[in-house]
């Protein structure tokens, strides 16, 4: 028998030391824990001040929108077991509710955004209700089809502005509100969801994902909790859509476009699924990248699709998990 080598991964000392209350005993340990989160928050808050022009500032806003869609995708898919292929559904519903209210009744964003978020979440949950009691693949199919369907209906019936959409909506007072509003929402969503999945109810969601038969056998009606999860995720998505329509002062059928369904998935897969923060990282990479590639036009979607294929096929854990592993663990070769 030849002696071989294998990789062994061990938690770093500092990780182990920070696992309990003993963290508070030293600055170094506290920094170890807090640093990544601080970097994220401070980074996001400072970046708008550093950007040279409004072009880049709008880019940050778009990035956050995609990040919101990506984290709600991650939440639904990896913490509840519902594969959501239709981020565009939330964008469109949220966008049209906010845009419609603004255009028809002149309501200001302060009203339209919350109404679109809650109302949109209710509508999306109701639309998706039939698939909730059953196996996940149907949810995937239905979420995929809805945006395409709604797009065609609006196109065909010409309601809500038809192919031209609803122009001339109210925008935010200035570019700083543009950015900090969405950045604030993004930060809250990331940390909020991360907190949620570790709370008791989050554990219930994860139990439903892992073994819904056992949850049913424990006397819990699965459908209502799945509906709650869909409500939360679609609320975030509709919020993003409502925000976008006021950012661009316009809402149209492109809100239902595949871009909003596919890029969040690619971002989540690239960034690292199952982490909530990973998809944010993925969006932070893909959105600027796709801007650079804007010249390629429709090829962008091909690009996202190819990234998806590559990551799923080769390194499914994604970037965030990779970095997290490096941060928390070190590896070395040992003799077998």
Q: List residues near another protein by CB under 8 A.
A: 77, 83, 85, 130-131, 133-138, 140-142, 144-146, 148-149, 152-153, 156-157, 200-201, 203-204, 206-208, 210-211, 213-222, 258, 262, 265, 269, 296-299, 301-302, 304-306, 308-309, 312-313, 316
Residue 221 sits at the vertex; the CA angle it makes with 218 and 222, to the nearest 5 degrees, is 100
Are the CB atoms for 267 and 64 separated by under 8 Å?
Answer: no
Question: CB-wise, 135 or 195, nearer to another protein?
Answer: 135
Residue 115 sits at the vertex; the CA angle it makes with 112 and 117, to the nearest 5 degrees, is 105
Question: CB-wise, 28 or 224, nearer to another protein?
Answer: 224
Task: Give, rounded to a whole angstrom, the gap between the first and last alpha carbons of the chain.
Answer: 11
Output the smallest distance, CB 98 to another protein, in A: 24
Output the smallest distance, CB 336 to another protein, in A: 22
Question: CB-wise, 103 or 207, nearer to another protein?
Answer: 207
Question: CB-wise, 185 or 215, nearer to another protein?
Answer: 215
Residue 123 sits at the vertex; the CA angle it makes with 117 and 125, to the nearest 5 degrees, is 95
Side-chain-facing half-sphere of 123: CA atoms under 13 Å: 18
Are the CB atoms for 128 and 142 separated by under 8 Å?
Answer: yes
Name the residue with tokens 């994902």. 209
Output the smallest distance, CB 76 to another protein, in A: 10
5 - beta bridge partners?
A: 335
Output the smallest distance, CB 225 to another protein, in A: 8
Pairing state of beta strands 5-11 and 166-167?
A: unpaired
Question: CB-wise, 209 or 246, nearer to another protein?
Answer: 209
Other CB atoms within a 10 A radius of the CB of residue 308 amount to 18
Other CB atoms within a 10 A radius of the CB of residue 314 amount to 7
Output the smallest distance, CB 309 to another protein, in A: 5
Output the smallest distance, CB 24 to another protein, in A: 20
- In the chain the beta strands, taken as DSSP E runs, fall at 5-11, 166-167, 250-251, 329-335
CA dist 136 and 95 (Å) reads: 27
Name the residue with tokens 């065609």. 152
Question: CB-wise, 35 or 201, nearer to another protein?
Answer: 201
Residue 79 sits at the vertex; the CA angle it makes with 74 and 85, to the nearest 5 degrees, is 45
Question: CB-wise, 164 or 199, nearer to another protein?
Answer: 199
Residue 276 has phi, psi (to 5 degrees) of: 60, -45
Question: CB-wise, 104 or 214, nearer to another protein?
Answer: 214
Output the smallest distance, CB 34 to another protein, in A: 23
Output the smallest distance, CB 333 to another protein, in A: 24
């Amino acid at each position: 028998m030849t002696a071989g080598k294998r990789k062994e991964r061990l938690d770093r000392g500092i990780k182990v030391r920070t696992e309990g209350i003993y963290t508070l005993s030293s600055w170094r340990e506290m920094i170890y824990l807090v640093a990544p989160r601080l970097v994220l928050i401070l980074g996001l808050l400072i970046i708008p001040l550093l950007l040279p022009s409004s072009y880049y500032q709008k880019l940050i806003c778009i990035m956050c929108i995609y990040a919101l869609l990506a984290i709600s995708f991650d939440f639904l898919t990896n913490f509840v077991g519902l594969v959501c292929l239709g981020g565009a559904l939330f964008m469109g519903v949220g966008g049209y509710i906010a845009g419609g209210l603004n255009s028809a009744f002149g309501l200001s964003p302060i009203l339209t955004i919350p109404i679109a978020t809650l109302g949109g979440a209710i509508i999306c949950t109701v639309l998706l209700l039939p698939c909730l009691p059953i196996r996940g693949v149907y949810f995937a199919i239905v979420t995929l089809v809805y945006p395409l369907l709604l797009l065609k209906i609006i196109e065909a019936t010409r309601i809500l502005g038809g192919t031209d959409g609803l122009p001339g909506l109210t925008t935010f007072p200035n570019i700083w509100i543009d950015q900090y509003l969405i950045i604030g929402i993004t930060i809250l969503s990331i940390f909020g969801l991360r907190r949620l999945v570790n709370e008791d109810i989050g554990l219930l969601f994860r139990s439903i994902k892992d073994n819904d038969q056992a949850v049913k056998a424990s006397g819990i009606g699965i459908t209502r909790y799945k509906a709650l999860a869909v409500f939360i995720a679609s609320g975030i998505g509709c919020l993003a859509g409502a925000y976008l329509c006021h950012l661009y002062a316009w809402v149209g059928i492109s809100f239902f476009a595949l871009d909003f369904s596919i890029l969040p998935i690619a971002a989540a897969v690239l960034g690292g699924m199952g982490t909530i923060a990973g998809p944010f990282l993925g969006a932070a990479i893909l959105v600027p990248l796709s801007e650079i590639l804007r010249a390629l036009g429709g090829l962008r979607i091909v690009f996202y699709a190819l990234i998806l294929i590559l990551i799923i096929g080769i390194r499914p854990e994604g970037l965030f998990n990779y970095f997290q592993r490096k941060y928390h663990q070190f590896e070395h070769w040992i003799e077998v």
